[in-house]
Homo-oligomer: A and B are copies of this chain.
Amino acid sequence: MAENVFDSSDTVRHAKPLRYAQRFVCDGPFQLELGGQLPGVTVCYETYGTLNSARNNAVLVCHAISGDSHVAQHDPDDDPGWWDIVVGPGKPIDTDRYFVICPNLLGGCRGTTGPGSINPETGKPYGRDFPTVTVRDMVEVQRRLVAHLGITKLLAVTGGSMGGHLALNWATRFPEQVDGVMALATSPRLTSQALAFDVVARNAIMRDPHYHGGQYYDSKTKPEVGLAIARMIGHITYLSRTAMSQKFEADRLQPRNVAVEFEKKFSVGAYLGYQGQKFVERFDANSYLSLTMAMDLFDLGTTPHELAKTFARAHCRWLVLSYSSDWLFPPFQSRDIVDALVANNIPVSYCNVESDCGHDAFLLPNELPVYGELMRAFLANLTGAPLEDAIQPVPDGLGNAPTSIFHKHRVDYDRVVELIPDDASVLDLGCGRGGLLARVTRKTPHRVVGVELNEASVVTAVRRGLDVIQADLNRGLQAFADKQFDCVLLSQTLQAVYDVEGVLNEMLRVGKQGIVTFPNMAYEPLRRMLADEGRAPKAAGLLRHEWYNSPNIRFLSIADFEDFCRAKSIRIHRQIALNTEKDIEVTSDPNRHADLAIFVISRP
């Protein structure tokens, strides 16, 4: 009765034999980062798909704390894998295209050397004599495995949670061996809160009287209560508060009947008791200690300066994903990674996926249409063949205001692209689905980056082969260094920004030059609307909205912007006034005859 009672978000199922597992032995002595050595390390791993003749389609998947090598089903009769929704034929990590490798981690308990392995010196399991292993040691084992498979450069390394820590370690230490990293729901190091939960979990295990100092393998009793308590704590942290409410509120006091020796009064308690007990059947308490300690010791730094230094070497292409309701690896930590990459001019796309599913979101299908598509697109970009043609501009529909403006074609795009200096590095603030940026990539071989808030737009832009960072312009661009870009664009976005001065200041700090375009409120027909009719101005295109529902919340004229530049010591290099109704450039009294202004500005 205990089976399938709950829809579980476990990363692996009962400890069944891994039918497709292969083994590789790293010869010893294997030196460990914190001292000590192992006489040799056996790695249990599984592979999917075929390594191509160029040996450049390999994707390494790093599992999280309770995972194993069985990332996906090998055939329909095979047991489910822990990431079947992501890995498989036609899936985001498409095993028809890529060769996938998933090894069990050093210190684990599913085939790779760990505390439950036999210590050749004693002939008994290591237990607590198993030396402290680190994420670096785990990566070293993986590196030898990858070399053994004849691969000198991985197309990508990916992992979520602790698996993300391994991916980060790969990229910061062996960037020349990795084309790209996909880091999901991870961090440069744990928050103190996440660390605290691990400490309590370890205390529960080690102070369980059945722990027997770690040598419980031959005992009748094992630290099962301690490990179950640890797992229960973990489970709470994997779910968001909202997800827990959705799961357990309806039958709060009517738990389903499960055979567990823990409190079962409340639905959530019965669930946790069941999860705890099930975990004990398939996981080794000492491995839980080893793996959590490795995660807790993982530390790439905390200040922006430290992180920027750590990531300076990580010159591959990055996709960083966080999940909005993840409180164990909260989004700001992913943003810290992104900021460190940005500071080093390393190409990165980032999305904080909107989700109610908490930390588990990266294992669940709910938001797969967003994060799965981003992974699929990113891998395609790594192979040099974006999913959508980046050269032909896809028309930006009117529904996607404010970064889309005109009915037919974007006349202003042509002018903006002309104004961008040759060979410039370019940052586009509010890049939408990348229509303008895709054109810019034709002009410059240098770094081209977009910033956009809308999630769907970010996905489209990445599918076009672009690097896009999801961010709110109103919160600043602090990750970018002074004058990091030759040219920063703010196309049809200024009038929708609340903190105008902040955004322009940041733009001119980050860019040697800025190109700003905005609708001119002093265009003659608009003036007349207020002056003669006494009504708030409206027009076709960007200004089609009503006063009460417009995304445009700032109203300025060309003259206002000139005044602003004067007052704020902003230098105007060039200004172009367009009448988009007539499709002409305006030279006489532009503040009256132009409906759109383009300014090239800088701050000395």
Query: B-contacting residues of A (Cβ < 8 Å)?
Result: 191-193, 195-197, 199-200, 202-204, 206-207, 209, 225, 228-229, 232-233, 236, 239, 241, 244-245, 247-249, 252, 261-263, 265-269, 272-273, 296, 302, 327, 330, 498, 500-501, 521-522, 526-528, 530-531, 533-536, 546-549, 553-560, 563-564, 591-592
Contact = CB atoms under 8 A, between A and B. Distances in A.
A276 to B, nearest CB: 8
B272 A200 contact: yes
B203 A263 contact: yes
Nearest to A548: B500
B500 A521 contact: no
A241 B330 contact: yes
A200 B228 CA distance: 10
Contacts of A534: 522, 527, 557-559, 591-592
Contacts of A249: 192, 302
Given A206-B263, A241-B327, A268 B195 contact: yes
Given A206-B263, A209-B209, A268-B192, A556 B530 contact: no
A547 B195 CA distance: 47
Contacts of A232: 196, 199-200, 203
Contacts of A501: 548-549
Contacts of A199: 232, 262-263, 265-266, 268-269, 272-273
Given A203-B229, A549-B501, A245 B191 contact: yes
Shortest Cβ-Cβ A-B pairs, 9 listed: A522-B534, A531-B531, A553-B553, A500-B548, A199-B269, A192-B244, A192-B248, A534-B591, A207-B225
A261 B558 CA distance: 71
A530 B522 contact: yes
Most buried by B among A268, A533, A549: A268
Contacts of A558: 534
Nearest to A264: B199
B192 A252 contact: yes
A228 B191 CA distance: 22
Contacts of A200: 229, 232-233, 236, 272
Contacts of A269: 195-196, 199, 203
A241 B548 CA distance: 39
A206 B264 CA distance: 13
B536 A500 contact: no
Contacts of A521: 530, 536
Contacts of A207: 225, 229, 261-262
Contacts of A526: 530
Contacts of A252: 192, 195
B556 A500 contact: no
A536 B557 contact: yes
Nearest to A240: B193
A218 B549 CA distance: 72
B236 A197 contact: yes
Contacts of A547: 500, 554-556, 560, 564
Contacts of A591: 534
Contacts of A229: 200, 203-204, 207, 229
A192 B255 CA distance: 13
10 contacts: A192-B248, A193-B241, A197-B236, A200-B233, A207-B229, A207-B262, A233-B233, A521-B536, A534-B559, A553-B554
B204 A204 contact: yes
